Amino acid sequence: MKKLDQDWKATARTLSEALPYLQRYDGSIVVIKLGGHAMSSAKALASFARDVVLMKQVGMNPVIVHGGGPMINEMLAKLNIKSKFVGGKRVSDETVVEVVEMVLSGKINKGIVQAINDQGGKAVGLSGKDANLMVCDFDNPELGFVGKPVEMNPEVLENFFASDHIPVVAPLGAGKNGETFNVNADTAAGAIAAALKADRLLLLTDVDGVKDANGNVVTQLTAAQVKKLTKQNIIAGGMIPKTETALSAIDGGVRAVVIIDGRVQNAVLLELFTDHGAGSLIRKKN
């Protein structure tokens, strides 16, 4: 009984300590790029969905943007569609884009929507093509229908904020000539966050965060520090696209970007509602 009492007291204390953060984020827009571990199992997805429902319940406006690379690879293999690569990036011809749209807007998107609904939320699935949310052009003609956002129309998302619905966005873009574009999920999340002037952009990944020269996670960085670490090759490899997305989003009006270890249970809540945080926060300046 004593152990049980201690657990309940710890829970009550945690809720009490979260109050200033609940007040601070009331009405705020938070864009979350969902990928990696948080999508790897039904249990992890259910935990993430529960956190998102809680965010909406306490007055925040979460927008989920998801990836799906492994699932796309799996479907292409099943259909025996061979991929070509240029500079390590997949060429997305019309056949590949059809599969990408089927997987992203179908199985993955609706799976996330269902997970949120199962936790008591009211999620709605859409893609960047809906209401011309994300109009794109060719990022690199050699890559085919891989898009870069050139025009954002976030009104469709803003309409959800006055309701109790949670938008879940697949990273597909509409071309000005009727094309469908495959958009990198981090890039899509950054563009959507900037268009909404979001308070936070959270990039869930499978690493602890941005690390310094000694391998230690840096919990807070300015844009200038990110550029310096990149120039010194301390920020390298797969972290570069994420920090580039962060800098672009901040330049576009996002208040701060956090690169979060999505392997940590309740990572989003830890970042938003505790002093400890759960990743590397990047802002324009201190």
178 catalytic, yes or no?
Answer: no
Name the active-site residue from 51, 130, 186, 199.
186
Nearest CA to 256 among 227, 219, 229? 219
Handedness of CA 197, 203, 208, 211 (dihedral sign): negative
Active site residue 118: no
Percentages of the chain per state (helix, strand, coil), in multiples of 5: 45, 25, 30
Contact 147, 181 (CB under 8 A): yes
Sheet strands side by side (includes 147-152): 147-152, 134-138, 172-175, 180-182
Q: Rounded distance, CA 155 to CA 67, Å? A: 22
* Gap between the Cα atoms of 28 and 168, Å rounded: 17
Q: What is the reported pLDDT for 212? A: 87
**215 is annotated as an active-site residue:** no
Check if 9 is active-site. Answer: no
- Write down all domains in the chain, each with its CATH number in brackets: 26-283 (3.40.1160.10)
Q: Where are the beta strands (DSSP E) in 12-131?
A: 29-34, 61-66, 85-86, 89-90, 123-127
- DSSP states of 153-205: -THHHHHHHTTT-EEEEESEEEETTS-EEE--HHHHHHHHHHHHT-SEEEEEE
Tokens 């390590």 belong to which residue? 88
Q: Which of 67, 130, 242, 279 is catalytic?
A: 242
Catalytic residue, candidates 69, 106, 175, 252: 69
Which among 35, 36, 111, 173 is annotated as catalytic? 36
Task: Please list, in sequence order, all residues whose beta carbon lies within 8 angstroms of the beta carbon of residue 266, skipping any fewer than 6 positions away.
Answer: 47, 51
Identify the DSSP state of 84.
P
Between CA 146 and CA 181 the distance in angstroms is 5
From first to last of its 286 residues, the chain has per-residue pLDDT tens of 455 566 666 666 766 777 777 777 788 999 999 987 778 788 989 999 999 999 999 999 999 999 988 889 899 999 999 888 887 678 899 999 999 999 999 999 999 999 999 999 999 999 999 999 999 999 988 999 999 999 999 999 999 998 999 999 999 999 999 999 999 999 999 999 999 999 999 999 888 888 888 888 888 999 999 999 999 999 888 888 899 999 999 999 999 999 998 888 888 888 888 876 678 999 987 6
69 catalytically annotated: yes
Any idea how long the chain is? 286
Phi-psi region of 244 (alpha: psi -120 to 50; beta: other; left: phi over 0): alpha
